[in-house]
Structure formats: structure tokens, C-alpha cells
Amino acid sequence: EVQLVESGGGVVRPGGSLRLSCAASGFTFDDYGMSWVRQVPGKGLEWVAGMNWNGGSTGYADSVKGRFTISRDNAKNSLFLQMNSLRAEDTALYHCARRGGSYQPLDYWGQGTLVTVSS
């Protein structure tokens, strides 16, 4: 069974940093690209960042470019999101998701970890 479990969320002050982790199991992790998607409470889904199977290709939403960094450790079946210079508008539930197949839909999602940026 495919499982994705996020961790690392919490409360942080504006300008602070946080590192999210996503532990993957139930599939061959280094066969798949991965993404981070967030949802601001009461708002819609926002794609944040994505990475191919070996980390050689990454992409970011304009809203986080230059502040967030996606990475992975295939030996540990883990995905990460380093978040720096955090802003109040980064407050959200952050999900990791697997990119499946040729058309790269997000076919499995974790439950998410909550990040709150507040002074």
C-alpha cells in the first residue's frame, strides 16, 4: 500500500525557516517524481514545488521561488521542502504527492502537515 506521511510542520515567526519531510513507503520511491501542494485554510489547492525521480529537474511556484527548496533522499525514501523567509501567506496545510505515469497526475497524497507563520 502506498503511504506518504508528512512531518515537520509547526508555528514559526515571519522570516523564519522550517523543513518539511515526507516519508514514502509501499512503492519504489526512485521511480517517481514528487510534488508539494498546499492549501490555505478555506482556500483552494496551490501547487508549490516538484522534482523528478533523481532530483535533476525541479520547479517552483512563483510565490515561493527563491525561498523554498525541494529535495529528496532516495536512499531514505524521503522528500523534503526547505522553507526560508516565511511569510504569513505561507500558512497552510502542506501535502506531499506522488507524480504518477506519463501524464504526471498526482496519484497519491499524504494527509498533510500544518505550517503556521505568525508573530
Q: Which residues bind to another protein, rule: CB under 8 A?
A: 35, 37, 44-47, 50, 59-62, 95, 97, 99-112
Helix (H) or strand (E) holding 49: strand 45-51
Shortest Cβ 104–another protein spacing (Å) = 4
Shortest Cβ 56–another protein spacing (Å) = 14
The residue among 12 and 81 lying less far from another protein, judged by its C-beta, is 81
The residue among 34 and 86 lying less far from another protein, judged by its C-beta, is 34
Distances in whole angstroms, Cα of residue 34 to Cα of each of 3, 11, 17, 57, 85 = 13, 25, 22, 11, 23
Q: Which neighbouring-strand residues pair with 93?
A: 39, 114
The residue among 43 and 119 lying less far from another protein, judged by its C-beta, is 43
Shortest Cβ 71–another protein spacing (Å) = 16
- Closest C-alpha to 10, from 26, 21, 1: 21
